[in-house]
Amino acid sequence: MKAKGCFPIIYKTILVLSLGLFLLLSQSCSKQPVEPEPELQQQVEPEPEPESPGKILYAAKIYSTRLTSEDASWIASHCDLLITDGSSDDWTFEMKATNPNLRLFRYLTTCLVKEPVNTAVTSVPINNLLEEHDNWFWRTEGGDYVYPVEGPDSYLIDPAASTDGWSDYWATEALNLIDGLLYEGVHGDLAAIDVESVREKCPEIDSRYPTEADFHAAQEPCLSSFHDRLNANDKLLILNNVTLGSGIDRDYLTNTRIYSEDGFNDQAYAMKAKYYPSDPFLGAESQEFQMEVVEVYSGFGKTLVLGAQPRVNREDILYCIGCYLLVKQDPYVYLNIDWDGNYNNMQMLFNDFGHLFETDYGQPLGPRYEENGVWVREFSRGTVVVNLETHTFEFRDNGN
């Protein structure tokens, strides 16, 4: 009886399953629209962008010059980077309006304080430091203040004072001087590597740093703290390192100083005629060393101002251009013809030799290399060939 009672339930279940299967099969057999397969499209190369001009990136230095509006616009239209003192503060907006890509750096010393006496402020102000922080000042052996040869109104600060507030003071005053202006950062002068360099400027300093290592231990943290404080306010610090190495470490820049700066100003790249007119060219070994340092720095995206010091003639200037092209790395490496930061000299340079800076060399296609005793670098418009022994530069145009 119970078995017979269960049969209708099983029967109904089989019937429902069969009906569902039938509907599923009939649905799958109905004609479905077929999506057309996408056609293979031939790859079209995008139109190549026009190559950026291979112009020389030129850096100017203009100091202690009363500028007019016309002067400011002319300077901005003839350079890509400008280092200047307070005499240009009033013109930063006009310069940037003339050349929006112009990079502006404000000149300040890193180790001096002085009473501002005119608009061309070159050091952070002394304010009340003599009364409030007398221990910050470097002394002579007799205990007197040290006045650098630049002028009796300047006082030399001991870098060890950075741990006592000097770094905060310098950075605060530097930022106040450029506040509201269009400077990208500060160019810090007199950033000596060795105490011997300080002694050359200030021969009367005491012997508080008996060894170069002792001086490095005070100087480097001081400069590094300047750098960190400026960077924290979105400003850069490029330094005049005074020398390209230490007496105890030839590679001091790439081993140590590189961490304390966003770049540097090399005041004797390729030629040094300003200070050594009778021996105007760097030796081949020294020039190769400088190029190696520049390449390391630019590889880290740091800013290099190559201050060449040629004599006033076409051949010397071309040689300096050639040495620049061997390490050209946009937008980090700039050429400066270093003639005392004088506006009249800059005008003369471009009036007489401007066409040399307007040549389009194209873009570098690779690093420099040595071949048959000369340095060579391939550019998209030709080949740069520089002989460091005969001090000559040749550009072999490839017609592109």
Question: What does the pLDDT read at residue 116?
Answer: 80
Tell me: the pLDDT tens digits for 198-219? 999 999 999 999 999 999 999 9
**Token pair recorded at residue 309:** 């010091």
Task: Give the integer Cα–Cα distance in Å for 107 and 103.
Answer: 13
Q: At 323, is the secondary structure helix, strand, or coil?
A: helix
Residue-wise DSSP of 207-253:
-S--SHHHHHHHHHHHHHHHHHHHHHTT-EEEE--SSSSBTTBTTHH
**Token pair recorded at residue 366:** 């690779």
Quick one: which of 191, 135, 143 has its CA closest to 163?
A: 135
Largest CA distance in the chain: 130
Task: Give the integer Cα–Cα distance in Å for 44 and 343.
Answer: 52
Tell me: the pLDDT tens digits for 323-341? 999 999 999 999 999 988 8
Place 399 in a pLDDT band, splitting at 50, 70 and 90.
Answer: confident
Question: What's 143's DSSP letter?
Answer: S
Residue 123 has pLDDT above 50, yes or no: yes
Place 153 in a pLDDT band, splitting at 50, 70 and 90.
Answer: confident
Place 60 in a pLDDT band, splitting at 50, 70 and 90.
Answer: very high
Q: Which amino acid is at 252?
A: Y
Residue 78 has pLDDT above 50, yes or no: yes
Angle at 137 between CA 136 and CA 139, to 5 degrees: 135
Task: Give the integer Cα–Cα distance in Å for 300 and 263.
Answer: 10
Q: Are 312 and 344 in contact (CB under 8 A)?
A: no
**ω before 331 within 30° of 0 (cis)?**
yes
Dihedral angle sign, alpha carbons of residues 227, 231, 237, 243: positive
Task: Give the integer Cα–Cα distance in Å for 320 and 368.
Answer: 16
Q: At 371, is the secondary structure helix, strand, or coil?
A: strand
Provide the β-strand partners of residue 339: none
Q: Angle formed by the axes of helices 314-325 and 343-357, to 10°?
A: 70
Percentage of residues in the chain having pLDDT higher than 70:
86
Residue 53 has pLDDT above 90, yes or no: no
284 CB neighbour count, 10 Å cutoff = 14
Domains (range + CATH), the chain:
59-361 (3.20.20.70)
